[in-house]
């Protein structure tokens, strides 16, 4: 025979499992990292992606530069996104955010290539950010996606440069 204390504990566990098992949205996978370029100047890399490996998986990467708390324009700022999969391959699409002077890069829309490792980059001039975002379409068998954002920048007038990286997955 079960004691009342044990019954109460089992009911409490069951109620908790029911609440936790409800269809609440899982938080996104995200990360950021920053590095000092010079006293009071810093560069930051940010990455966000859907949690897990849904098909499709949305993602966004960005590079930002600051002087104190204010955004700081750089001569050139680059954001490099690296997408890797394990257990299978994927196709992808990408777009860029804000563009500055003389933008350049290889994020040109849809990637028709089926791959398990892809590097995309976008570089802007005379601005404080560089953004790439897109969608990964994992093929059957992909059990893990890793996406990284690498940020690099330099300012010719200030004589500073910096690099940092953040990853999820």
Look at residue 162 and tell me if it is in a domain: yes
Retrieve residue 97's tokens. Answer: 């955010």
**How far apart (Å, rounded) are the C-alpha atoms in residues 21 and 140?**
26
Look at residue 143 and tell me if it is in a domain: yes
Look at residue 54 and tell me if it is in a domain: yes
pLDDT tens-digit readout, 84-131: 999 999 988 898 988 888 888 888 666 667 888 889 999 999 999 999
- Total domain count, the chain: 1
pLDDT tens-digit readout, 45-58: 999 998 877 889 99
The CATH number linked to 145 is: 2.60.40
Name the average pLDDT for the chain. 83
H or E element, residue 19: helix 4-20
The answer to whether the beta carbons of residues 86 and 137 sit under 8 Å apart is: no
User: ∠ at Cα 51 (50, 57), nearest 5°?
Assistant: 40
User: What is the residue range of 79's domain?
Assistant: 27-168
Look at residue 22 and tell me if it is in a domain: no
């Amino acid at each position: 025979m079960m004691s009342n204390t044990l019954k109460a504990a089992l009911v409490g566990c069951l109620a908790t499992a029911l609440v936790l098992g409800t269809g609440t949205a899982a938080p996104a996978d995200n990360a950021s990292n920053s590095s000092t370029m010079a006293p009071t100047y810093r560069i930051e890399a940010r990455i966000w992606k859907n949690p897990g490996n849904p098909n499709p998986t949305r993602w966004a990467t960005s590079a930002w530069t600051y002087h104190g708390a204010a955004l700081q324009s750089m001569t050139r700022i680059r954001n490099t996104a690296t997408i890797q999969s394990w257990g299978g391959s994927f196709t992808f699409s990408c777009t860029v955010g804000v563009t500055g002077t003389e933008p350049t890069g290889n994020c040109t829309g849809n990637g028709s290539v089926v791959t398990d490792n892809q590097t995309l980059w976008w570089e802007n001039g005379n601005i404080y950010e560089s953004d790439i975002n897109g969608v990964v379409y994992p093929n059957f068998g992909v059990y893990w996606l890793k996406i990284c954002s690498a940020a690099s920048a330099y300012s010719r007038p200030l004589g500073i440069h910096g690099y940092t990286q953040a990853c999820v997955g």
